[in-house]
Structure 1
Amino acid sequence: MSQTEDTYQPPTRGELTGKAIRQAIVRIEQGRPKVIKPGRKLSIQSVAEEAGVSRATIHNNHPGLAERIRESGNKAARTQRDEKISSSKS
């Protein structure tokens, strides 16, 4: 038997929470959330509701995911702003 087979460790609670948050982000980005209303923008609040965790959990325990959410939200806002500007110039 190999070493990895002998030392299997089930995922920690934090790892499971991180996975739930990542899955919530993907579902919201794809427009197919299970908990929140479809069409809601990607935000820490919407991801927290979708994942079944608190906003504080995302901020305090998963800062990398919080940053990913903020960047995605900012990108969407910039895209919307740029579309508005280009349509007003036409």
Structure 2
Amino acid sequence: MPYQYNFVKNQHLQQSLNCYSWTKVLVGDQQFSWSEESFAVAISRQKAVALGKQYQQNAVYYVEHGELFLLSCLKDKTVKHLGKLVERCV
């Protein structure tokens, strides 16, 4: 997706997050050959998936008790455990 399109979509999402505690984060693959700006937000799984659907995302990351999960926003509702969050932070 073009950078400008992502920038505009992120601006709209940021406005939707104003009533939550949130911060910007940079996410990417393990080598960071690909990365993009994103948000870490203190919300429930259900709200995270609902926002993901609203902003046409296939999935969202979710952290619970220090464990990182990938939650599908699609009909399959797949949940994939990705391990400890601390192991993925640089």
Rg: which structure is higher?
Answer: 1
Is TM-score (shorter-chain normalized) higher than 0.5?
A: no
TM-score normalised by L of structure 1: 0.29
TM-score normalised by L of structure 2: 0.29
Q: Considering fraction of residues, name the structure with more strand.
A: 2
